[in-house]
Amino acid sequence: MSASTLLTLILVGAIVASLLGRRRRGPSGPPTKPERAVVRSKPSRPPAPRPQPAPNRAAGLSEAQARAILKRALGAVWEADQQRLRAQVLEQERKIAARLRRGQRDLDFVELCSLHEKSWQTANMAKASLDGARATEKAISENIRNTHRAMDAEQTRGGRGIPAMRQALDALHLDRDVIQTHRDRYEQDLHRLNHETGRLRDSIGANCGAQGRRWHQALMERKRARKEIRRR
């Protein structure tokens, strides 16, 4: 190999080595900043659907069917007393509304106070009746929870008793729905009576002269005292 040929090969090798080194190092010039990774936001998930309330099993019952369940769950005496009390609540509400449509004078003080006292007593008896229904409703709810636990235990033993337990559970749910529906309706009646009784109380204080104002002030002081006792 001639000297010129050797020199040519050395030069070609040097050029190739230079080109390969540039590929590894990158192009000459100031170093470039590394590109930031693009963070793509994840598509938002649609909100989970809210659980729908359980259907009220009392909705399709007739009045007679509902009363039969109330008698069985709460007792025939309670159901009869409650019907009587509810009639009194509605009657007192009607009497107060009719009396308030008429004028009130000093001479009406005794009559109006008697009407207020009767309405207050009726409301108290109605509330006691509702408290009894609420206690029964809570007891049924506890029985429902106990039945669910019993069904879970029965499932581990093979589940032969599950059908009978499910029938008992359906009956408990029906009883509770009937009581709750009845109680909600009754509480609305009682709320209206209390509202009308409050209007009568304020009318006595405003329209029955000095004795009406003294009566109203004493009543409101007793009311505040009862609230203080409940807070303790």
Q: Say if CB 179 and CB 133 are below 8 A apart.
A: yes
Mean pLDDT (the chain) is 82
Angle between helices 209-231 and 109-156 (to 10 degrees): 20
Q: How far apart are the first and last CA of the chain?
A: 116
Q: Say if CB 176 and CB 138 are below 8 A apart.
A: no
The pLDDT tens digits of the residues spanning 34-47 come to: 555 555 555 556 56
pLDDT at 199: 94
Residue that is written with structure tokens 């007793």 in the block: 222
pLDDT at 55: 76
Nearest to 184 by CA among 86, 116, 96: 86
* Confidence (pTM): 0.69
Q: Say if CB 216 and CB 125 are below 8 A apart.
A: no
The pLDDT tens digits of the residues spanning 16-31 come to: 455 445 544 545 555 5
The pLDDT tens digits of the residues spanning 97-119 come to: 998 888 777 778 999 999 999 99
pLDDT at 13: 53
The Cα diameter of the chain in Å comes to: 145
Q: CA-to-CA distance for 160 and 149, rounded, in angstroms?
A: 15
Show pLDDT as tens, one digit a residue, over the chain (232 residues): 544 444 444 544 555 455 445 544 545 555 555 555 555 555 556 565 554 556 787 787 888 888 898 888 888 888 888 889 989 999 999 999 998 888 777 778 999 999 999 999 999 999 998 998 999 999 999 999 999 999 999 988 888 899 999 999 999 999 999 999 999 989 999 999 999 999 999 999 999 999 999 999 999 999 899 888 888 8
pLDDT at 72: 86
Q: CA-to-CA distance for 61 and 136, rounded, in angstroms?
A: 20
